[in-house]
Each structure stands twice: as C-alpha cells, then as structure tokens.
Structure 1
C-alpha cells in the first residue's frame, strides 16, 4: 500500500512567515501587501488562421500596501522637517518568506516610491489604516540570499 501524503507541501507559507523591510527597518504596522508584474504578449498572425509567432511589449510592475496610521507616522518621523513621505528617494522593498524547511525565499520590489498619503476614518473604527499610493520599476523574484 502506497504512503498517503495529506499535504505534500507541509507547513504552508502565510502572513506570519513574511518579513517586510522598508528603509532598513522591519515594518510591523502593515496589514496587507501585494506586488505583481506582467509583460504584454500577443499572437502574431500571417497566412492562415493560426499564429505564426508571438510579439512582446512593455513590462509593468505594480505594488500596493496598507499601513496603520502609526506606521505612516513612524516613517514620517525619520524624515527632515518639512519633507513629505512622497519626497523619500526610491528604495527597494525586501520581502522574505520562510518555508517549511526554514529556508528563506526573498523577492525584491525595486525603486519603490510613495506617490501619495492619506487618512480614512469611519464611525466605530478601532484603528486607522490607509492603502499606500506606490509606484515601482520592477520586481526581482526568488533572489539568492
């Protein structure tokens, strides 16, 4: 009788396995983080009904994060007087994941900048969080540590 593996991946990676580092410090006041990239691709046609090749276009990368107001305030506090969060020079965001074996996987979101900042509050809110307006140039996936 063959061995049955209930979960072939073992312990799954989750939010508690992520370390989010910005400007040299691990960020704790973050509630969500997302990054994606894509490259335009399309079929190229010639004679007949099937593609004869494929063309590619621009690369795009997107990043988003939601921070508690206290985290925004902590980032703002290290800036010189009169500077806004949008004035921070482009920086890399290092995201590390620990897998079941204890190995660390690392992605780097490159040249991130804040493009805006705000506050949203509603009646009976227990915390104040706001999705950051961010821009990045590209993402390096599975970087060797």
Structure 2
C-alpha cells in the first residue's frame, strides 16, 4: 500500500500512451482482460475445484481525426491494410510528479473495428478503434497468466 502525501490520485493528465512507429495523441484508452474459469463437480452439490479456460484481452482507444489520419499514413508507408497492422506493443504509463511511474504494456495489438462519428455542433471529429490484445496485458511487470 502506498502513502499519498497530498491525497493526489492518478488523473488523465498523468497518463502517457506510446505506440512504436506512431506519434499519436490518444484522447481515451481502455483495456480489459479475463480468464475463463469454471467450477468442477463430483459427488454432491458443491464444487470440488475449478478448471481454467482461455485468456482474452481487448481494448479501445479514441483519437482525433487528424491522429487517425496519421495511422492511415502509417498503413500506406508500411504497405499494410488497416486491419493488417500488428503493433508489437502499446505502452500506457502513468504516475504523479515525484512518484514512481507505473507501466501497463499491451502486447501484440491488432485493430478489429473502427467507428467514425460526426454530428452537428461537434467541435472536433474523433475515431474509436477497437483492439484485440493478442499477447496480453502486462501490468507493472506482472504477467496475466
């Protein structure tokens, strides 16, 4: 447990997202993972134990349209279609000034969906990109499974 001297918690201003080969400003990023588990039964109605199934990780990030255009330029430069891009790593780091920096690494990330939206009155245009995180999420050096 860490002691917070000023009671300061992490905020969006403490988050930095790095994607190798791209210089993007991400407006939002979210990611989650899960491990399938199921109880195993024998005689009686109480579980004797459990079994593990597949591990799965996914995420989503939102970009301004001009940053998304940089992703499309990256696709052209590498000769890969949008859904053919595999990022070796997406690094999300966060920390307060003077404090320890924490790092979450999303390994082997591919794009699975893109969503565009424009509406009357919008001041900016943004694009949401859904992510499949093939290599899992390593949080502060701790492997998921």
Matches of 1:54 and 1:60 in 2, distance apart?
18
Task: Report the equivalent of 2:102.
Answer: 105
CA contact (8 A) 2:91 2:106 kept: yes
Higher gyration radius (CA): 1
Q: Which of 67, 74, 77 matches 1:71?
A: 67
Q: 1:47 to 1:99 in 2, by over 3 A?
A: farther
Task: Report the equivalent of 2:123.
Answer: 126
Q: 1:62 to 1:116 in 2, by over 3 A?
A: closer
Matches of 1:36 and 1:128 in 2, distance apart?
25
Alpha-carbon distance, 1:80 to partner? 3.1
Q: Secondary structure at the match of 1:11?
A: coil
CA contact (8 A) 1:19 1:96 kept: yes
CA contact (8 A) 1:63 1:135 kept: yes
Alpha-carbon distance, 1:77 to partner? 2.5
Instruction: In structure 2, list runs of 5 or more residues that go unmatched.
Output: none
Task: Report the equivalent of 1:3.
Answer: none
Q: Secondary structure at the match of 2:94?
A: strand
Between 80-89 and 61-70, the greater mean CA deviation after superposition: 80-89
Q: Deviations over 1:13-40 (max 9, x none)?
A: 1111111011245532x22111111101
CA contact (8 A) 1:69 1:129 kept: yes
Q: 1:122 to 1:88 in 2, by over 3 A?
A: same
Between 80-89 and 128-137, the greater mean CA deviation after superposition: 80-89
User: Is structure 2 residue 8 aligned with structure 1 residue 14?
Assistant: no
Instruction: In structure 1, list runs of 5 or more residues that go unmatched.
Output: 1-7
The number of equivalent residue pairs is: 136
Q: TM-score, normalised to structure 2's length?
A: 0.81
Alpha-carbon distance, 1:99 to partner? 4.0
Note the aligned Cα RMSD (angstroms).
Answer: 2.2
